[in-house]
Amino acid sequence: MSGLKIPFTGLQKQYNNLRSEVLDTIDIVLRSGQLMDGNYTQEFESWLAHKNNVQYAVTVHSGTNALEAIASYYYSTLNMRRPQVIIPNLTFRATANAWLNAGWEVVVADTDSNGMLDIESVAKHHYNNIAVCLVGLYGNSLKDFRTNKFRDLVTNENWIIVEDAAQHWLSWNCKRIAPSAISFDPTKNLANYANGGAVITNVASMDKFVRLYRSNGTATATGGTNSRMSEIDCATMLVKTKYIDQWQERRREIGLYWMERLNEKSNARCLIDSSNAQEHCFHKFVIDVDGAGRNVLQECLSEVGIDTKIHYQHGINEIGSFEGVKPMLASSNSLSRRVLSLPIYPELTDLEVEYIIDQVLGCGA
């Protein structure tokens, strides 16, 4: 196995598998002369709405733009200068930036041991908040947030609920619990070759707002930007929609196997709860390594040709001027010091899958 190199993403392998279909599709679009707002955009948006069991889907330039558009929509409905939104402390900074750009004040709350927003932490503290932004970290389902405990909390406080679904939208059979922002960044399960995102909603007025918002608004509308996916983007994404269920099943197969094998290693655990594994979309396969072992393991894996990443090395409260809740954000900040993401994608061969987990178990972290 000496000399084996396993990159963190399978983008090159995926393109090689789809090359003929992708190039043929791009040629059709370019020869048509319709490069924006055409049939491919409409067809892809229809597929997205159907896939997510909602009425409306609006494509935009990125997942961040999608979340900012949702935040801007709700901001426009409130008569408040700086409404507050709660977000989990362990997420990508784009979650915070989208709300800040739309005029909201961001409040970060702690997470549980798997990186999900801690309902108990939110429930114990007094807020003057208006919204909660849920994040399915690493592809984790939001199924637990359909519980009576969370619903009662939201109802009592009359809060707006939004999903930053960039990582988890393919989890749990794509069942949405709130208007959602999704991403087609090249690192995502369903990835565009450039960038891309979408707003998924059952709210007709939100659909209308976002369609105006992505095209610089109107003379009478507040705010707006130029944020669209091209016909080439949408056409090539439609090629990939034919394979997404197959790809998801392969990710799940790899993830479940690794979860079983990790039982052999005492100082590392998977951040996917085995009881919820069937609802997870395996966007990332993240392990929690005891103490300083994360850095040792990452270096060891690099030496044997396995590329890994850290998602995320810092909590939101450590990278900007955000208001933290009390008690301190102990769980999320501690977790950020221990997490390590392994390469997981459907193009991994069985040999590579075995090699990765064998090396994880064999490295002296």
Residue-by-residue DSSP string for 170-184: TSGGG--SS-EEEE-
Per-residue pLDDT, 265: 75
> Do 228 and 273 reside in the same domain of the chain?
no
Total domain count, the chain: 2
> What's the sign of the alpha-carbon dihedral 351, 353, 358, 364?
positive
Does residue 355 fall inside a structural domain?
yes
Q: What is the pLDDT of residue 338?
A: 95
The pLDDT tens digits of the residues spanning 149-181 come to 787 877 777 889 999 999 999 998 888 999 999
Domain, as residue range, for 247:
243-362
- Among the candidates 241, 258, 275, a domain finishes at 241
Give me the pLDDT at residue 276, please: 83
pLDDT at 364 (0 to 100): 62
Q: What is the pLDDT of residues 317-326, one digit of tens each?
A: 888 666 554 4
Write down the number of H helices and E strands in the chain.
Answer: 12, 11
C-alpha count within 13 angstroms, C-beta hemisphere, residue 342 = 32
Residue 326 is predicted with a pLDDT of 46
Predicted TM-score of the model (pTM) = 0.95
Let me know if 326 is exposed, middle or buried by CB neighbors in 10 A (0-12, 13-18, 19+).
exposed
- Residue matched to tokens 């359909």: 146
Q: Does residue 350 belong to any structural domain of this protein?
A: yes
Q: Are the C-beta atoms of 69 and 209 separated by less than 8 Å?
A: yes
* 207: CB partners within 8 A, 6+ apart: 55, 56, 58, 199, 201
pLDDT on residue 325: 47
Contact 160, 132 (CB under 8 A): yes
Q: Are residues 133 and 268 in the same domain?
A: no
185 and 68 in a common domain: yes
Asked whether residue 181 is assigned to any structural domain, the reply reads: yes
Q: pLDDT at position 365, please?
A: 52
- Phi, psi dihedral angles at 7 (to 5 degrees): -70, 165
Q: Is residue 68 part of a domain?
A: yes
- Cβ neighbours of residue 78 closer than 8 Å, sequence gap 6 or more: 130
Which of 128, 126, 124, 85 has the alpha carbon at shortest distance from 103? Answer: 85
Query: In this structure, is residue 117 part of a structural domain?
Result: yes
* 215 and 302, same domain (yes or no): no
CB-based contacts of 77: which residues, under 8 Å, 6+ apart?
none
Query: DSSP per residue over 148-174, as a string?
Result: HHHHHHHHHHT-EEEEE-TTTTTSGGG
Domain-embedded: residue 3: no
| Cα–Cα distance measured from residue 290 to residue 126, given in angstroms and rounded to the nearest whole number | 33
Residue 234 lies in a domain: yes
Answer yes or no: do 99 and 212 share one domain: yes
Are 217 and 97 contained in the same domain? yes
- Whether 201 and 66 map to the same domain: the answer is yes
Centroid of chain to Cα 102: 20
- Comparing CA positions, the residue from 182, 86, 69 lying closest to residue 136 is 182
116/185 same-domain check: yes
Choosing from 206, 241, 276, the residue where a domain stops is 241
Based on the domain organization, do 56 and 188 belong to the same domain? yes
**Strand, helix or coil for residue 242:** coil
Same domain, 271 and 181: no
Domain boundary among 241, 273, 299: 241
Same domain, 26 and 65: yes
User: 262 and 221, same structural domain?
Assistant: no
Whether 37 is in a domain gets the answer yes
CB under 8 A, 24+ apart: contacts of 261-264: 261/357, 261/361, 262/287, 262/357, 262/360, 262/361, 264/361
CATH number, domain at 176? 3.40.640.10
Assign residue 268 a region (left: φ > 0; alpha: ψ between -120 and 50; beta: otherwise): beta
Longest dimension (CA), the chain: 64
| Digitized pLDDT (tens) for each residue of the chain, 365 residues in all | 557 899 999 999 999 999 999 999 999 999 999 999 999 999 999 999 999 999 999 999 999 999 999 999 999 999 888 899 999 999 999 999 999 999 999 988 899 999 999 987 777 665 567 899 999 999 999 988 887 778 787 777 788 999 999 999 999 888 899 999 999 999 999 999 999 999 999 999 999 999 999 998 865 556 789 999 999 999 999 999 999 999 999 999 999 999 999 988 778 999 998 888 989 999 999 999 987 799 999 999 999 999 999 999 999 988 866 655 444 688 999 999 999 999 999 999 999 999 999 999 998 65
Q: Hey, what amino acid is at 237?
A: M
CATH of the domain at 292: 3.90.1150.10
Distance, CA of 171 to CA of 248 (rounded, Å)? 9
DSSP H helical ranges for the chain: 11-32, 39-51, 63-77, 93-101, 119-124, 148-157, 204-213, 231-241, 244-261, 293-303, 330-336, 350-362
**For residue 301, which of 349, 217, 362, 234 has the smallest C-alpha distance?**
362
Size (the chain), residues:
365
Distance, CA of 161 to CA of 177 (rounded, Å): 8
